[in-house]
Amino acid sequence: MRKPSDLKIWKDRHNILSKFTNKLKILPMNPIYIRWANQQRVIRRTLKPKQIKMLEKIYGWSWDVEFVWNFYYTCIIDKFSENEFLVDEKHIKWLHKQTVNKEKLSAMQLKLLDKIPGWQFGTKWTRSYNKCMMCVTQNIKISHSLNDWRYRHRKKYHSKSLCALKIKLLEKIPNWSWKQKKLTRWEETYSKVQEFIEKNGMLPTTSQNRYLYIWLYRQIHSIDILSKDKVDLLMKLSGIEIPPPNSVWIYQFNRFNNEMKRKNASLKDRWANIQRLNKDLLFDWQLSKLEQIDGWTW
């Protein structure tokens, strides 16, 4: 016999699922409710007639245990057929879940999944591949991080360490070429840092790779003069801690402003003159802060 608390939980779950599906006309991606719905299908014989009727009133309800899997697969394959790429993070995460549970899938499910390129390579690779396909097919500028991803795959191809399936999939990208584009020195070193992290699971140290350690140290402490693209790439490195952009400028501004208030500095000081010379390179908020200084002129 079920406890009253169990029945209350059952009703709560049912009400949330029912309200969500009946209002939005879609099934939730939340694994808690997916598992709960599948559990009701499995224990159908133990449910009361009233509970069965309540479940059957839920929008899109089916007693087929594989219904939810088929529903999400249909959504994804329809989206893929329309664009030839996937960018919805929910779809990519669902595919990743299939790679984790690959051994539990039926032969038919595996056959269906094979219609989606690269599904078996996990979230990170699938995300990058689909973004690359989207950028090329829709003529969108490819970011530095995607360029680096393409470069690393070309490098693996020439070193014969890229699997045949990935080669086949990459060659489906329009205008794909295995010729390696020459990277800048900064991009080459960044790629080496990425490879080091992938291999060792940590940032380079002085004892392991002094050159990469010093390079990374200099990038972090030159954050204010790096381009946004470079800062974004550095932020993607696992384990890295980067100070907020322009933290050095804020420190220098506060020091100069305090000295001005104490009348220990002048508007003609070297730092103030540098700001005037670099006016076109400053952000609006920096210009605004400077103009708040009493007597400031350009």
* pLDDT tens digits, one per residue of 35-79: 787 778 778 888 888 888 888 888 777 776 666 677 677 777 776
Residues lower than pLDDT 70 in the chain: 1-5, 24-31, 64-68, 71, 79-89, 117-118, 120-123, 180-183, 221, 224, 241-248, 281, 283
- The confidence score (pLDDT) of residue 243 equals 57
Return d(Cα 272, Cα 187) in angstroms, integer.
Answer: 34
* pLDDT tens digits, one per residue of 135-175: 888 888 777 778 878 888 888 888 888 888 788 888 888 88
Helices marked H in the chain: 4-24, 31-42, 49-56, 67-83, 89-100, 107-113, 122-137, 144-158, 164-170, 185-200, 210-220, 228-235, 247-261, 270-277, 284-291
Parse the chain into domains and list their residue ranges.
4-65, 84-89+96-170, 185-235, 247-291
- The confidence score (pLDDT) of residue 27 equals 64
pTM: 0.41
- The confidence score (pLDDT) of residue 1 equals 46
Return d(Cα 27, Cα 150) in angstroms, integer.
Answer: 36
